[in-house]
């Protein structure tokens, strides 16, 4: 139940905040897991749009460090830590 509550808080914050990332590794992993509907380990642009992940969509090129068309947990963490 705690995890469910945490995910809800993260989702709520992602709607309310624009610039601050500062998510825990667990929160990032949960978000990617939720968005990764084809279970290939990354979030494609289509999955970001389908999941209404605005910041992944808007920052897709920056997040997709290896330009393979999907954003992984590790790629998000790199940007998250850089802020």
Output the smallest distance, CB 83 to Ca ion, in A: 19
Cα(2)–Cα(70) distance, integer angstroms: 29
Q: How many residues bind Ca ion (CB under 5 A)?
A: 6
Report the Cα 52 to chain-centroid distance in Å. 11
Q: Which of 17, 52, 68, 81 binds Ca ion (CB under 5 A)?
A: 68
The closest of 36, 40, 61, 39 to 48, measured between CA atoms, is 36
46 part of the interface to Ca ion, by CB under 5 A: no
Which residues in this chain contact Ca ion in the complex, by CB under 5 A? 36, 38, 40, 64, 66, 68
């Amino acid at each position: 139940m705690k995890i469910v509550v945490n995910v809800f808080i993260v989702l709520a914050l992602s709607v309310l905040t624009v610039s601050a990332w500062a998510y825990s590794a667990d929160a990032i992993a949960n978000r990617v897991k939720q968005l990764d509907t084809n279970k290939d380990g990354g979030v494609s642009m289509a999955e970001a749009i389908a999941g209404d992940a605005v910041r992944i969509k808007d920052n897709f090129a920056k997040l997709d460090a290896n330009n393979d068309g999907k954003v992984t947990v590790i790629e998000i963490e790199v940007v998250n830590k850089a802020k």
